[in-house]
Structure 1
């Protein structure tokens, strides 16, 4: 994985977006029946409400600079956002965003937000579920090992040292658990130092990792591996 050379922090550019992610027009959806739950159809049910804080964060960021990682908040089936259609963000919005996504790693602790089978049936992408509790992901080492294995396997599946399609990663807000997993992978597997990884993630996502315990653990791991500020090779 060492081919993902870390950039110098001051060289990390602001992300460029291939297409602004906006809610699709709801007019075309009016009067249409939602498909029932059938053997070959999709299930559109709302279990509970929109996750706390979901509206407070942008739908998605850009690809983390010099990596294949694309962070975003959890997509919701449109029924969740009926009251605020302008805030809609579902799988269709994600896959029509202009990024070529080959795999989604879902770190939420529930299966209620979207029909995951659509990821592979409709969009021909891989889907990996890692039920990861919030607030203390740094104590769930087995979850990181699952994440690492999923990314490594995808690398091999692509047949190249770096994937040609993006690896989408999300938790509920696409910030803390998502940021920790991506940054830890870059530190342990790709030789990045913590400060560079954390900064690159924050720039790409548009929101920084918020939890101090996650940041402290990433820096601890970086220090234990002797990761200093690295200069990219030519």
Structure 2
């Protein structure tokens, strides 16, 4: 199974996103152009990038109910994917007015209907269970989120389930010591951090907040070019679950 994750910055590319517009379900014209380019990059390149076909694609800093989001969802639908919202929500109306959530597009033949509710019902946690394993796309915007993740992981460890967590943690080697210690605590509970062979930086090619943790056997590489081509301020995480 192949999984991709990318922080898409509200589809504003490398520009500062307009949060007020996104709260009101409005975006700018170039957001639609970025949406189309990102979809093409992920789906049309599937047989180019290490012959991967992605079963699940996670997007963070996703702005629902905008014209660019509708365009993206239509594109994925035509390619055989359905949109999975966080917290087992059924409708985009449930997240109206939110402008930075984590969602997943999942192949329809996987028969995933809903994500599970997250710790404290964070919208930056999108959890999917498939083939006796749990895959979670995350985006940490605040320290309380990391505390909740750590508590959730303590309970998870007792289940001995296969677990993959991937996403923008907002924690790097340049972060505050307390954040680094908290993240290291989460990693030790989950299993280990998985590194790409080239150890590429994922945020503006400067730091690496986008990370992968797992207690099962996976391969991982950074699919770069999204930042270079001004499609996002992040590059993507590509994971193959063995």
TM-score, scaled relative to structure 1: 0.31
More strand by share: 2
Output the TM-score relative to the length of structure 2. 0.30
**Which of structures 1 and 2 has the bigger CA Rg?**
1
Which has more helix, going by share of residues? Answer: 1
